[in-house]
């Protein structure tokens, strides 16, 4: 159990370190791939619209000034609204965009598990019911006749 916890912590740090580095030192390419042109609704790297060219120039200028990725993203959201983000943010109301699909998968899995459990339980009960007559004791008369038949058979 302790080994699993250590492995999880290492994996978490391994994933967080590049993200932190990316936020502090964003590249032009990654921001152009992640931000959307407000007029043509494609990512900036695929757009040559006038406003997309202005946005690329602004990103270049802000990177040169040492702005972080989140600062640049926030400034563009302030100018053009949250739809410029190619992917929703992982906090506030936007978190719903991540949580709802994951929650949906969770609910579906729970529903499936519940359904499977009910189905297997119903089958067990069915099996019990179908075996019940053979497990029930014979009445005395029938029991006596079976013994007589068996005794005759043995003789």
Partner 1 sequence: MRLLRLLAVAVVVALLGLLVWDMAQADGSKVAKKVDQGQVVAAPKLVLPYHDRDGSFDLAAQRGKVVVVNFWASWCQGCKKEAGALNAAARYWRDKGVVFLGVDVNDFRSAASRFVDRHDVAYTIVRDGPGSTLGKWGVTGLPETFFVDRKGRVVPPHVLAAATREQLDEGIRRARRS
Residues 66 to 85 in contact with partner 1, rule: CB under 8 A:
78-81, 83
Q: Which of 42, 58, 68, 94 binds partner 1 (CB under 8 A)?
A: 58
Build a one-symbol-per-residue string for 100-129: x at contacts with partner 1 by CB under 8 A, - elsewhere.
-----------x------------------
Contact between 37 and 44 under an 8 Å Cβ cutoff? The reply is yes
Q: Using the rule CB under 8 A, is 27 a contact of partner 1?
A: no
Q: Using the rule CB under 8 A, is 54 a contact of partner 1?
A: yes
Name the residue nearer to partner 1 (CB basis): 33 or 41. 41
Q: Which of 27, 39, 70, 128 binds partner 1 (CB under 8 A)?
A: 39
Contact between 86 and 38 under an 8 Å Cβ cutoff? The reply is no
Residues that bind partner 1 (CB under 8 A): 38-39, 50-51, 54, 58, 78-81, 83, 111
């Amino acid at each position: 159990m302790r080994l699993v916890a250590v492995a999880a912590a290492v994996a978490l740090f391994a994933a967080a370190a590049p993200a932190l580095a990316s936020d502090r030192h964003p590249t032009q390419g990654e921001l152009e791939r992640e931000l959307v042109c407000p007029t043509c609704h494609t990512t900036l790297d695929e757009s040559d619209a006038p406003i997309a060219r202005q946005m690329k120039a602004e990103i270049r200028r802000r990177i040169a000034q040492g702005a972080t990725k989140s600062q640049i993203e926030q400034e563009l959201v302030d100018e053009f609204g949250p739809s410029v983000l190619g992917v929703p943010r992982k906090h506030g109301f936007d978190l719903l965009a991540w949580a709802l699909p994951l929650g949906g998968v969770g609910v579906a899995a729970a529903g499936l598990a519940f359904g499977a459990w009910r189905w297997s339980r119903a089958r067990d009960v069915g099996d019990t019911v179908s075996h019940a007559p053979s497990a029930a004791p014979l009445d005395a008369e029938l029991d006596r006749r079976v013994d007589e038949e068996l005794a005759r058979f043995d003789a």
